[in-house]
Structure 1
Amino acid sequence: MEEKRQAHAENKDANDVILDLNFVPQWAKKPPGENHYGQKEYSSERRAPRRDDRRPPRRDDQRDDRPRRPRPERSDRPERTERPRAPRETFKELPLSISFLPEQQRLASLVRQIHHSRRAYPLIDLANLLIQDAEGYLVKIEVSKGAPAGFEMLQCKRCKAVAISEEMMVQHVMSMHLADFYEKEEIETDPPSGSFPGVARCRKSGILLGPPNHHSYTEKLNAVHQSRFAHLSFDEYKRSIEIVRDEEVIEQWKEESRKQTVYKLKSDPEAEPVELRKAELEFAKKVPSLYEATPRAVVPAKVAQELGDRDITHAIRQVWTKESRFPLSMSFAMRAAFRHMHLYLFKAGKINFVTHIKPYPVKPENTVENIAEVLSFLKEHPGSSRLQLLEVLHPSLDPASQEAKDALKPLGWLIERGHIIEFFNGTLSVPLGRGRR
């Protein structure tokens, strides 16, 4: 049963990609009969003059020389004041080389579709399909050869996130992977006892932080600041705290304080639950073993989009912007992967195509009559469809009839043998050159 579910999930992923494979490159928009591989011809005729160009120029004696009344200046007009512009965020240039790789599951889904369809797809469009998918690629980051001595990149062993600063990497591991080792539980305790003249409240969120003299106040203050207002400095955030002396609010805080969050070590079910601060102190001892220095890192796309290191994120964004316009590094990586997966690449004009059937040219005169006429027609009319082929070779047959299907049976055999290439949009052509792996 589990295997069937996995197979169904794989088929679903493949279908999701199939829907996106209906792209149409520029060459496919040409009418049938025009050679895909020919040079474009340009007309030498001059452009006809526009209507405005045919208007005769105005002579000097036709100019309007009437004196014009000067516009009075308004003295009551307020002076324009420029709005102060927010300073632009600056980023540090890092000695890193960034490129993109296809994500293996997405790539496998594409390969299954190529095998199933028996058609040829433009390599650059397949690469663009993955680079536009938020989970379709991996980011390869390498330290450049000319990097300064001592420059290194740190990578988290748990999620593959990267950072340059060790402080930032420690902060990442502490905030993102504490839950990997500790299980959070909610328990109820007795309400705090004692007399409290007032409680601190965050004006921005309305969260009650507790009396400033209570032992939980500092921890609560730091937790709210880090989780919700980390973009503010700690001193700026503290200025948003107010002291409320209302008895109802104090009782509300006492009731809320009954619910406490404790953390229990997953590896030791018998361990006593501890508060967050103690769990963080214990976890901090393990943090150095959860990341490593590396000159080369491969990061999943989702992780790369949420990195805490803004300098690395900016560098990735710049390269991704260029890659999304023309996915050069992705197409190179996919080319190597397709060859390893026993697919074939061929070039038509300036476009590289990929298919699982090796193109194998054959001369029409070396084949039987019904196959020779198909090859000859497609050689003279590349880019024709099945319907156009049927209309020319068998004009008396109804395209929906069984006789028409039987007449096109040799076409399927020719496609399987690579003597005819069927492109992704159903157009047909004969291979004119030597197929290559």
Structure 2
Amino acid sequence: MRVSITPAAEAVHLVVKEIHHVARVYSLFDVAQILLAGRERYHLQFAVSDKVGPILKSKLDSSMWLTKEEAIAHFWHSPASKDLYESEEIETDPPAGNFQVVARCGMSGEWLGPPNFHAYQTTLRRVHREQFSNMPFEVYASRVRTERGEEAVNAWLETMKKRVRWRLKGAGDEAWSFDRGEIERDFATKRFSEVFEEVRSAEISGNIPARDLSPGLLACVRIASSHARKHPAILIPTICRLLENEHLSVFKREGKLFTGPARPHPLTTDAILAERPSAMVEWLEANPTAKLADLWKGVLPEGTTEPGKEWLADLFWLLTQGHVLLFADDSLVLPRRRAPQGTKPATAKAPATKAAKKKKKKRKRKPRAPKVAVPTHAKVIRTISRMSPGRLRGLRGPDLLWRRRLVKRGKIASVVEEE
């Protein structure tokens, strides 16, 4: 089982809307932490290996379970059961007979009935299945206590005057049944596939209630959530893809990824701006590390403490064009201004030094050893076949072997002439 966390597209859309509204630059690491702050802001993706069986997903409430027993138990405790089955409480005549002892649940206090009553075992197992299924039946049965007396019998008879019956929704009056086990068997054998489906991968909302997940799946979700909160950077690739779908720019600055209303777009040195934007740009150029409050103190006229709408509109224009960056901590950054196109920036020549005047000595390359040509077999055969008898007698080693072979084949011209 593999559980991974992915940001919800709806939550990313709200983040993008906020970024466009405030025109601020946020680190993608901070965006990941914002998306992990609420469970409704991300989705849970489940993937099951082929080595194990599939998981069961409800078509009604997206609950997920590992076994059929867990799914059935959840169905009867969820509101979804009322969509498929209906129940009603009716008044009936209490059982007739001479009862002396009445059994009662030792934990919930519910009356179970006399041990000799025909529905006692059915009631006992129903209460165990509905309320104490996590306890072995033998342990639960050992905690049942019996009470004697007319008061206990009358209390049980009073509960039997009202009984609950069930039927499939929309069925006729003859389909009513007082036996809950019969209804449960009908769902397990005939209606189960209408509510649950077998899947090997699924995606659900992160704010799913814990009661709608199998205990094993809930443990996997908690491990994945804890890992994601400790390492939010694992969400950044998915966040980048979702931001691109929202047409929001992503750029890198000082080795970190950021997103904002626009990419940094430096102004040229000869750019002509209006009075207010020009004043803000010149002040930021003179004060590289500044906060938003410092900017207003530096550019606003004397006696003015709060910027007017025209100042805010001009700053918003600079931010949306990428000429100025406003980060989440109110720090302002003016991207380094560039020279106009077609002009080369003047560079000051460094004064000549003695070390610069010295020419670099070229390293002398070591002479390479001459390549030794290794004669091929064809060349050896050709050379030996043309030798005189005197030279043939002076051959040694491999050449001597080649001479003997060539003599047997009659390939040496001088030997053939002598014969």
Q: Output the TM-score relative to the length of structure 1.
A: 0.67
Quote the residue 2:302 is aligned against.
396
Task: Give the one of 104, 110, 118 matched to 2:15.
Answer: 110
Q: Which has the larger radius of gyration?
A: 2
Unpaired segments of 5 or more residues in structure 2? 339-419
Quote the residue 2:144 is aligned against.
241
Alpha carbons 1:387, 1:399 under 8 Å: kept: no
Alpha carbons 2:92, 2:163 under 8 Å: kept: yes
Residues 218-252 of structure 1: CA distance to partner in whole angstroms, max 9, x if unpaired?
33323322333222111111111011112112111
SS, match of residue 89 in structure 2: strand
Map 1:21-36 onto structure 2 (within 5 A): none
Map 1:67-216 onto structure 2 (within 5 A): 96-144=1-49, 147-148=50-51, 151-173=53-75, 175-176=77-78, 177-216=80-119
Q: How many angstroms apart in 1 are the aligned matches of 2:30 and 2:123?
A: 52
Q: Percent identity?
A: 27
Unpaired segments of 5 or more residues in structure 1? 1-95
Q: Work out whether 1:255 is the aligned partner of 2:158.
A: yes
SS, match of residue 40 in structure 2: coil
SS, match of residue 306 in structure 1: helix
Deviation at 1:104, TM superposition (A): 4.5
Quote the residue 1:291 is aligned against.
196
Alpha carbons 2:261, 2:320 under 8 Å: kept: no
Q: How many angstroms apart in 2 are the aligned matches of 1:376 and 1:270?
A: 86
Q: How many angstroms apart in 1 are the aligned matches of 2:164 and 2:26?
A: 55
What letter corresponds to residue 332 of structure 1 in structure 2? Answer: P
Alpha carbons 2:323, 2:334 under 8 Å: kept: yes
Quote the residue 2:357 is aligned against.
none
Task: Give the one of 252, 267, 275 matched to 1:362.
Answer: 267
Q: How many angstroms apart in 2 are the aligned matches of 1:228 and 1:297?
A: 30
Residues 355-402 of structure 1: CA distance to partner in whole angstroms, max 9, x if unpaired?
344543323531326334422433554553333112223462421375
Quote the residue 2:363 is aligned against.
none
SS, match of residue 265 in structure 2: coil
Quote the residue 2:185 is aligned against.
281
Alpha carbons 1:142, 1:296 under 8 Å: kept: yes
Alpha carbons 2:300, 2:307 under 8 Å: kept: no
Quote the residue 2:208 is aligned against.
303
Alpha carbons 1:98, 1:142 under 8 Å: kept: yes
User: Which moved further from structure 2: 360-369 or 200-209?
Assistant: 360-369
Cα distance change on mapping 1:152 and 1:281 into 2, 3 Å? closer
Cα distance change on mapping 1:230 and 1:369 into 2, 3 Å? same
Alpha carbons 2:23, 2:316 under 8 Å: kept: no
Cα distance change on mapping 1:189 and 1:359 into 2, 3 Å? farther
Alpha carbons 1:121, 1:354 under 8 Å: kept: yes
What letter corresponds to residue 156 of structure 1 in structure 2? Answer: S
Q: How many angstroms apart in 1 are the aligned matches of 2:158 and 2:289?
A: 76
Q: Which has the higher contact order (CA 8 A, sep 6+)?
A: 1
Map 1:53-72 onto structure 2 (within 5 A): none
Alpha carbons 1:153, 1:163 under 8 Å: kept: yes
Q: Work out whether 1:323 is the aligned partner of 2:222.
A: no
User: Which moved further from structure 2: 268-277 or 315-324?
Assistant: 268-277
Q: How many angstroms apart in 1 are the aligned matches of 2:337 and 2:246?
A: 22
SS, match of residue 211 in structure 2: coil
Cα distance change on mapping 1:238 and 1:411 into 2, 3 Å? same
Deviation at 1:118, TM superposition (A): 2.6
Quote the residue 1:4 is aligned against.
none
Q: How many angstroms apart in 1 are the aligned matches of 2:77 and 2:227?
A: 32
Alpha carbons 1:152, 1:294 under 8 Å: kept: yes
Q: How many angstroms apart in 1 are the aligned matches of 2:164 and 2:83?
A: 16
Deviation at 1:170, TM superposition (A): 4.4
Q: How many angstroms apart in 2 are the aligned matches of 1:269 and 1:417?
A: 70
Quote the residue 1:349 is aligned against.
254
Q: How many angstroms apart in 1 are the aligned matches of 2:113 and 2:16?
A: 59
Q: Work out whether 1:430 is the aligned partner of 2:327.
A: no
Superposed CA RMSD in Å reads 3.1
Quote the residue 1:421 is aligned against.
325
Alpha carbons 2:59, 2:196 under 8 Å: kept: yes
Query: Which has a greater percent of helix?
Result: 2
Alpha carbons 1:100, 1:329 under 8 Å: kept: no
Q: How many angstroms apart in 2 are the aligned matches of 1:379 and 1:266?
A: 75
Residues 304-339 of structure 1: CA distance to partner in whole angstroms, max 9, x if unpaired?
733553333222222221111122343332322222
Q: How many angstroms apart in 2 are the aligned matches of 1:316 and 1:401?
A: 48
Alpha carbons 1:99, 1:330 under 8 Å: kept: no
